[in-house]
Amino acid sequence: MAGTMLSVRIRGLQSKEAFKDILNAWCSSKNSEPISIGSHGIAEASNGFEATVTFRTEGDRDSAVAALNAIHPGLQTDTHFLGMTVLVTPEPWRYNVIDIVAVHGLRGHAINTWTSSAPGAVMWIRDFIPAEFPNARVALVTAYSRRDSAIYQQINCVAFFGTPHRGASAAHWAMLLARLVSVRYPDAKKNLKRLRINDTVLKDLDDDFRSVVLEDRKIKFISVYELHKIKKPIWPFSSWNIKKPSILVVPEQSAILGLESSTETLIPINSCHRELCRFQSPHSNGFGQLIQSIRNTLGGFGRAQLPSKYPRDSSLGVQLLGREEIISRIYDHIAECHDGTASLPGVALVGAPGVGKSSLAKHICDATLKKMDFQHVLFISAESESKLVHDLKNILRLSNVDDSKIPGSAEQIRHRFQDMLSKTDGHWLLVYDNAVEEPFLSRYWPSSKGGSVVITSNCKSIARVFTGNTIQTLTVEGLTEDEGAELLSRSARFPSEYQEIDSSTWNHYKVLSGRFCGWPLALRQLSASIHHARISPQRMIQVLDNEDNGQSNTYRFQSIGEPNEHTLEDAWAALFPRLQPNPVKLLNILSLLDRDSIPARMFENSPERERAPEDPFDFLFSELEWVPSMILGATKFVDCHFSYIHARGSLLDYGLVSMDECDNISLHRVVQTTRLKRMSDFEREGAFSMALWLLRKRFPRQELGAHMHNVWDTCETFLLQVLAFENSVRAWMPLFIGDEASDYINLICDCAWYLWEIGQHNKGLSILDAAEKGYVQVIGAESLNAARIYVIRGSIYSTLNQYDKSGPLFLEALRLHQKLLTPDHPLIANSLMQVGNYYTSQDEFDRAINSHREALRIRQSCQGTPPHMMALSYFNLCRPLIMTNRSENLLEAEGLLKLAKAAEERLNHRLLVYYKLHRLYILGNIWASRGNFQKALKVHCKALELRKMGGVAPSSTSSFLIATSLHKVGTLYHRLGQQEQAVAALQKAIQVLDPPQPRGVDRALPRTKTQLSRLARTEMQLASITTDKEAVAWRVNARGHYCEAFEIGNPARVNWARVDFEKLVPPIDR
């Protein structure tokens, strides 16, 4: 049993260390068995700290409490958790703190309600929420606590878990609800005296509550409801009189508020009412959806706004709009050293990662050199002591200190640096960038009094490290919408366009600023894209609105572990939770235009090394000038901006990407960008025009992503360029190590994927063979690179109908994914889907069902699974269920289609039509399997009409899908005995696939194997329903197309009795 019997609250703790000592004492008891602790947490409270501990057994709990009372009698312990219990408080340096308060339901318990009953007694509110929302303060409140009604004004989001809005024995619930409503409608309290099991009263109360919500629309709601019935009633109220063996305690119609989708988010969970809010792990069903919904409702909530004080003609430059006041305060403070009014003044710029602290520091460096006559400006990374010491060594080296005389230990380097400052004649400015709140930093405070210090840090209390020094702390925050709009409007235009903009354009810039939370790091990338690609702000908004929500975290801005890039990674990590998926995905594309996303090794500041004559890369540089240096591990070198400034100074030049910097872009990153699937028209036009502009400057012959526009000749030119690189590097594969080898193999896999998409299967298989040899030599066969090669090779073989080869490859990829990844990783779901589709093609329907069910479970548990991927999982599971032709499976498939329809509602129009087509097709197959051919025909005809409207796929794919629907319609007409209509539909399918060519005109494009196979299948269907003479002709055509598809020269050698034309092309049915 979890909760009340196993959880204990401890109050009166003086520090976190004291709690750790208690835990260690419990777990290492010498006089008795160690006490087994399930999970625990500690938080700041009004009287020190309070902790909660969940034990595994009642015996553990009793032993722990007895030991605690004996050793620390002054501490208070209890298990009833009355009043408020603070579970988690964020770190003091966290910004934009939000409050998450959990209130239990009727006859519930403050902590038991949220604690899993499974072994381990996980209390997810305390144990999982901090990882998802590091800036959250989490608390529990008993439902019987008296609260001030003014809390209504502070609420941003409310999540209901199985709450009976329209019928249940809910007196305590009604009391809470009435108090909330009474903030605006005091008369609602009178209803408390009459609240019983009275549906009319509850309805009035529900209507009253809805009227408050609909009036100001401030609060967003999340309604979580159960899908599983419970076998016996859990609420002991005799008036329920439940006698049925199983019930839904709170059905969907009672658990939801019925508000607009913009105000209320619905989350169905495959759980009964008792376990509805007891998640065992972050991968539990529904947890990811809940977290993502909360994150979406919060948006930029809690972000403090700065007053807009910038002048339209600000001389500070576009990148510093809105920073005038804080810059002035910094100047005033550090100028005191020139006037002799203070000794070594310091300024600490604190704020969240990526808000612009380093940019301000760099501006101060520029300005002080010009205005205050500082002799030296020293810019030092203080993220860790090792980086700080490394920078000090560089400074000593740049000061013409002989390398042999530079000391080795950190302490010796510190003394040598202090001595250098003390001997400086003029004033100096020292910047400690991205400082951490660690004791080592205080030792590096200059002893000399002839300068000023600027510190940038994510920690609000960084000044405490430098006790005894005069340090003023200034908080740096994000821009307001007006300030962000001004930044965008200036930086996105060319100098000749600086005339006044109209109000409509200004409002569009304000919308974009709000969508990216006024975060300078993101606005710089956004402005770069608008500037270089000449996209209007209105078009950029349309790109966001038409984005596919599912690709929010497909690609990272940079690789983990890049040198000197830790703070940038923190900055993006801090920004992403504030944004919706669409802006995040767009930023992934726009990162091509901002050097913030390029690893620091591209900006190392050291003399260029001379390559040895035997260096194999010399050949590549001479033969392939277009190869990006990042792939080959080469280095771009730049001059120092100041006399004594760390290499990071160049990286801090946050201006737009200039024309001569295109060669710094990783080809692999550019190629990956083209793999964003199902791109909208606006996104395709905007994103690819940016990428093409970027590539043409350096690589004029390459046409990135031409396959997205069906421009196969230019796409092939691009691929030939990449393959030329691959062929030249192949001999040097053993020289690659670690991430370099992985990047190389991923590049080859990208090429193979594109070759597969345009039908060049043999070329694709050939370069996969080369990649496989490479990873065996360098990485090893048990790797994710190997799994990706298996997946692509298996996909090619599936297209060629060689299932005996594709199946084992998909199974091997699944084995590697399950071995190397966490159990609920999305890549495992992908592999299970591929294996399930393979089993379906082999008529192993039960095994296919098991694979697809497990894939669906993983997708449901993963946070932020795209709605189109959810719909795809539903469709994949439906197909083998239908093929079994069992009544219970057909019923399950029909239920899955309802879930797919709900997922469709979250898609943009283009994707909505695409997935609606697939859903209608499968629904038609369900009716056909039940023998209701008339209803099946009606549904398939509706799908056919939608397909004829077009706009959901490239032209070649669209014609193929139309032919597929016509084939299905013709087959159903035949089942209904309407032979004339059946023949007409099948003949039309053939005309769509193989339109007649005018005499003397060659076919524009060769027919693919898939087209030929579909032709043969439809022609055999016609042969089965036409007269003898016509049947012979259609059968001859079918055999001819079959031989052409499989490159068989002599049809007489084929045993036609063994060819199954129905399985020749895996249709949508499979």
In a domain, residue 838? The reply is: no
> Do 287 and 191 fall within a single domain?
yes
Residues 222 and 124: their CA atoms lie apart, in Å, by 17
> Do 459 and 582 fall within a single domain?
no
Give the pLDDT confidence of 963-980 residue by residue, as tens digits. Answer: 888 888 998 998 898 989
Residues 551 and 542: their CA atoms lie apart, in Å, by 17
In a domain, residue 519? The reply is: yes
Number of structural domains (the chain) is 5
Using the 8-state DSSP alphabet, how is residue 660 labeled?
G
On the 0-12 / 13-18 / 19+ scale of CB atoms within 10 A, 23 is middle
In a domain, residue 853? The reply is: no
867: nearest Cα among 582, 578, 589: 582
**Predicted pLDDT of residue 1031:** 80
Residue 853: how many other CB atoms lie within 10 Å: 16
In a domain, residue 802? The reply is: no
**Predicted pLDDT of residue 1056:** 74
> Do 609 and 661 fall within a single domain?
yes
Matching residue, tokens 């695409």: 914
> Do 1030 and 1063 fall within a single domain?
yes
CA distances from 412 to 169, 348, 447, 697, 880 (A): 75, 27, 15, 49, 72
pTM beyond cutoff 0.75: no
Residue 370 belongs to domain with CATH number: 3.40.50.300
> Do 197 and 124 fall within a single domain?
no
Residues 50 and 39: their CA atoms lie apart, in Å, by 15
> Do 468 and 495 fall within a single domain?
no
Q: Which two tokens stand for residue 600?
A: 């620091």
For residue 84, report the phi and psi dihedrals to the nearest 5 degrees. -105, 140
On the 0-12 / 13-18 / 19+ scale of CB atoms within 10 A, 127 is buried
> Do 258 and 330 fall within a single domain?
no
Q: Are 756 and 792 in contact (CB under 8 A)?
A: yes
> Do 128 and 172 fall within a single domain?
no
> Do 261 and 337 fall within a single domain?
no
Q: Which two tokens stand for residue 841?
A: 């093609």
Give the pLDDT confidence of 780-792 residue by residue, as tens digits. Answer: 778 888 898 899 9
CA gyration radius, the chain: 33
Q: Are 686 and 540 in contact (CB under 8 A)?
A: yes
DSSP helix/strand/coil, 510: helix
DSSP helix/strand/coil, 457: strand
Q: Which two tokens stand for residue 664?
A: 């710094």
Q: Are 879 and 840 in contact (CB under 8 A)?
A: yes
In a domain, residue 99? The reply is: no
In a domain, residue 244? The reply is: yes
Q: Are 365 and 331 in contact (CB under 8 A)?
A: no
Residues 538 and 469: their CA atoms lie apart, in Å, by 51
In a domain, residue 615? The reply is: yes
> Do 239 and 377 fall within a single domain?
no
User: Which residues in 22-151 belong to E strands, given as ranges?
Assistant: 37-45, 48-55, 76-78, 84-88, 98-103, 136-141
- Helix, strand, coil shares of the chain as percentages rounded to 5? 55, 10, 35
Beta pairing partners, 48: 45
- Give the domain extent around 490: 479-635+651-700
Q: Give me the residues of the chain with pLDDT under 50, please.
A: 1-4, 30-31, 93, 95, 149, 168-197, 232-244, 300-315, 341-342, 494-499, 533, 547-566, 585, 588-738, 951-956, 1004-1005, 1067-1068, 1070
Residues 6+ apart with CB under 8 A from 715: 703, 705, 706, 707, 754, 758
Residues 122 and 192: their CA atoms lie apart, in Å, by 36
Residues 6+ apart with CB under 8 A from 8: 52, 53, 55, 61, 64, 65, 77, 78, 79
Pairing of strands 136-141, 84-88: antiparallel
Q: Which two tokens stand for residue 454?
A: 């600027």
> Do 675 and 581 fall within a single domain?
yes
89: nearest Cα among 42, 40, 155: 42
Residues 346 and 431: their CA atoms lie apart, in Å, by 10
**Predicted pLDDT of residue 355:** 78
> Do 958 and 974 fall within a single domain?
yes
Query: What is the DSSP track for 794-826?
Result: HHHHHHTT-HHHHHHHHHHHHHHHHHHS-TT-H
In a domain, residue 1005? The reply is: yes
